[in-house]
Amino acid sequence: MNPDLRAYLDGELSYEELSPDLRTEASAWEVLAHDMKQGEPPGAPPWLEGAVMTEVAVKPAPARKETALHWLLRSRTIHMSPLTGALAAAAILVVLLLPRAPQSVATDPASTRTTILVEFRLEAPGATSVSLAGDFNDWETDMALEDSDGDGIWTGRVPIQPGIHKYMFVIDGTEWVTDPNAERYSDDGFGNRNAVLAVTPIT
């Protein structure tokens, strides 16, 4: 697309700044948008409000977001450190910050390799879903985190094989976000950063 036409359609150039040829094309785009809106209803159907309120009437009352210790539960990824000493330190950190045993050793039944259960957390109030995508699941968005108490803190425990892994969170299936509390990052080649997770075997 011609850069001037693009700038005009993006609101960065005025109509007068376009060449005559581009003005014709610019007008055609506006006609297209105008025509697309022809025949649209002015608003929601009249029954919609009643239908929503009927459902709302029988739903449990919405709970306020819990704010106590909110800062303490900010998103963080638990890393398995490369040394036993560091692992112990990480374990202490886990005990202090995440008292619900966020990581443990599990055996992957599909293979003889040991996997490490890593807990991922992301603070995402307002999200309807959060999933984890990384090189350990071929960047698919099918590893869902959960927020069962509705406090906006999404968590999930994932068995991961030892190694260096890259990952991101995906909010509502479309918005890819970098873990704000990862300890290391790497560029993904598309202008964003992946979080980097180091998982080492427990010996």
Binding site for another protein (CB under 8 A): 1, 6, 9-11, 25, 28-29, 31-45, 48-49, 51-53, 55-57, 59-65, 125-126, 128, 150-152, 171-175
Shortest distance (Å) from residue 120 CB to another protein:
19
Q: Name residue 155's beta-bridge partners.
A: 121, 146
| Burial environment of residue 136 by CB neighbours within 10 A (0 to 12, 13 to 18, 19 or more) | buried
Shortest distance, CB of residue 57 to another protein, whole angstroms? 7
CB of 188 to another protein, least distance (A): 14
d(CA 195, CA 156): 16
Tokens coding 5: 């036409």
* Alpha-helical runs (H) found in 142-199: none
Question: What minimum distance in Å lies between the beta carbon of 64 and another protein?
Answer: 5
Pick 127 or 195: Cβ nearer another protein: 127
Question: Residue 132 CB, nearest distance to another protein (Å)?
Answer: 18
Q: Give how far the C-alpha of residue 116 lies from the chain's centroid of Cα atoms, to the nearest Å.
A: 22
CA quadruple 53, 55, 56, 57: dihedral sign: positive
Burial class (CB in 10 A: 0-12, 13-18, 19+), 130: buried
Minimum CB distance to another protein smaller for 146 or for 175:
175
End-to-end CA distance of the chain: 58
